[in-house]
């Protein structure tokens, strides 16, 4: 029977089928971002990837929609999205252009820290201009050449100089850095301990330079770059929160961001699945469609099943966050499952394309490259497994 619920679920991606309540506002936000992706991002995604060209105009337009600080409250001139709506937005953007999606995640990660911990002066100078789209994207600077998964091993340091701080060191693999104007940076502030503090550094500050733009395998238009701080003097007013609590601020922001990366993984895989399904239906082989062969039908069945599993874990994590729960292990489960499922789904869909899947004339080739890093950034799969294991073995679930 074609009930109203089934009619609703038949539209777009059918979010209701996952069993989580999706509000009209959340559904409309998802559809708005899908339209933006289809109309403004997808047409130029391949060219930007080929040329390593940052999507400056597209990010600017998305920023003016509130996309660079989606969870900033209306009092801070932001859209005030909950975690579910935010994750749905990232999924929709990733279907069209994963590079734009990850720049959006990085900016929102930085601005979420300010939303939670900035004082009124910092909100006025940094958070609200980004939320209004007046300062483009922001960026988040934690990773260093010798400190990726081991975030506590960072070497960038800051020392007091009167009322100011002098920042020295380097950051690497900083997403969106090529065009960001506001950077949330983490540095050690006590040489005798591992105490880390959080600072805001603005583009153009003396002693702060952008390094090389990374020549990456995938996500080639996301403006990933090095950052260098050479006796960079920043005002004391740019210290976010209290001195020495930066590590707590960074780790506290990672759960919602890992759910966002799970959503990005799903977006990539959903697009790959759509391409594979269309190709399998249309391509003729041995007198019939590719999709007529049982082995290919089963590949599609496995992909769809695993994708739904990723959706369920991602939506669970977002919903629990919205309900006020701490979700370190649930976020890690979502990120681990979605990123690894993304890799398997994209690989199967490229296989359905045969030799054409290996050609840069086909979109699936770009998605294959984009998908690989999902298991690395925002905590590798190995790190996610350790977080989950600690919760299960050492601390139990709670």
User: Which residues are identified as catalytic?
Assistant: 378
Joined tokens for residue 324 = 């006020």
Is the CB of residue 325 less than 8 Å from the CB of residue 248? Answer: no
- 147 secondary structure, DSSP code: B
Pairwise CA distance, residues 336 & 333, whole Å? 5
Alpha helix positions (H), 52-96: 56-64, 83-96
In the chain, which ranges are E strands? 138-141, 157-161, 164-174, 182-188, 196-202, 208-213, 225-235, 239-240, 284-285, 288-289
Rg of the chain over CA atoms, in angstroms? 21
Distance CA 331, CA 339 (A): 12
Q: Bin 396: left if φ > 0, else alpha if -120 < ψ < 50, else beta.
A: left
Buried b (16+ CB within 10 A) or exposed e, 198-210: bbbbbeebeebeb
Contact between residue 149 and residue 161 where contact means Cβ atoms under 8 Å apart: no
79: left (phi over 0), alpha (psi -120 to 50) or beta: alpha
**Separation between Cα atoms, residue 238 and residue 211, nearest integer Å:** 22
Q: How far is CA 72 from CA 108, 125, 127, in A?
A: 9, 14, 8
Three-state SS for 86-98 is: HHHHHHHHHHHCH
The label of the residue with tokens 């279907």 reads 95
């Amino acid at each position: 029977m074609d009930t109203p619920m089934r009619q609703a679920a038949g539209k777009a991606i059918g979010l209701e089928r996952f069993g989580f309540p999706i509000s009209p506002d959340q559904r409309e936000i998802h559809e708005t971002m899908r339209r933006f992706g289809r109309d403004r991002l997808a047409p130029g995604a391949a060219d930007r990837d080929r040329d390593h060209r940052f999507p400056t105009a597209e990010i600017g337009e998305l920023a003016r929609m509130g996309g660079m600080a989606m969870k900033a409250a209306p009092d801070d001139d932001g859209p005030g999205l909950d975690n579910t709506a935010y994750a749905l937005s990232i999924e929709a953007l990733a279907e069209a252009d994963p590079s734009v999606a990850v720049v959006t995640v990085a900016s929102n990660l930085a601005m979420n820290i300010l939303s939670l911990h900035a004082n009124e002066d910092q909100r006025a100078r940094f958070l609200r201009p980004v939320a209004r789209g007046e300062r483009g994207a922001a960026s988040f600077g934690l990773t260093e050449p010798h400190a990726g998964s081991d975030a506590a091993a960072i070497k960038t340091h800051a020392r007091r100089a009167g009322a100011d701080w002098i920042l020295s060191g380097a950051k690497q693999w900083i997403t969106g850095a090529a065009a960001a104007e506001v950077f949330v940076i983490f540095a050690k502030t006590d040489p005798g301990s591992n105490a880390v503090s959080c600072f805001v550094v603005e583009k153009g500050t003396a002693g702060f330079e952008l390094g090389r733009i990374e020549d990456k395998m995938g996500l080639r238009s996301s403006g990933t770059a090095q950052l260098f701080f050479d006796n960079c003097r920043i005002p004391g007013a740019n210290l976010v929160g209290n001195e020495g609590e930066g590590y707590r601020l960074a780790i506290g922001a990672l759960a919602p961001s890992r759910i966002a990366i799970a959503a990005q993984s799903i977006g990539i895989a959903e697009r790959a699945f759509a391409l594979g399904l269309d190709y399998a239906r249309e391509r003729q082989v041995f007198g019939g469609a590719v999709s007529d062969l049982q082995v290919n039908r089963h590949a599609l069945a496995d992909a769809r099943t695993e994708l739904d599993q990723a959706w369920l874990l991602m939506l669970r994590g977002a919903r629990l966050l919205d309900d006020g729960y701490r979700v370190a292990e649930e976020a890690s489960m979502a990120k681990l499952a979605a990123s690894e499922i993304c890799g398997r789904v994209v690989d199967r869909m490229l296989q359905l394309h045969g030799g054409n899947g290996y050609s840069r004339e086909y979109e699936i080739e770009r998605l294959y490259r984009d998908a690989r890093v999902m298991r690395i950034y925002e905590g590798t799969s190995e790190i996610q497994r350790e977080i989950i294991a600690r919760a299960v073995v050492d601390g139990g679930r709670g």
